[in-house]
Structure 1
Amino acid sequence: MEHSTSRNKCEARRIETWLLNQMALRGVTNIAKALGMDKSSITRWKESMVPKMALLLAELEYGVVDEDVARVSAVIASAVTNNRAGGEVITHYKEQVVLLKATNDELRKENNELRERREKDLQRISHLESDIRIIKSSLRMLIAITQAGRDEEFRGQVSAMLTKLEEDRDET
Structure 2
Amino acid sequence: MKVLLLTLLLGLVCADLSTTDLSQFSGEWKTLYEASNNPVMTGENGPFRGLYRKINFDTGNGDASFDVYFRVNGVCVEQSIPATRIKNHVFLEKYEGTTIIELTYASETSLVGYFLNVDENNEVSTITFMFGKSNHVNEPDFEKFKELTLEKNIPEANIVDFTNLDKCSGH
With normalisation by structure 1, the TM-score equals 0.22
With normalisation by structure 2, the TM-score equals 0.22
Larger proportion of strand: 2
User: Which of the two has higher C-alpha Rg?
Assistant: 1
Q: Which has the higher contact order (CA 8 A, sep 6+)?
A: 2
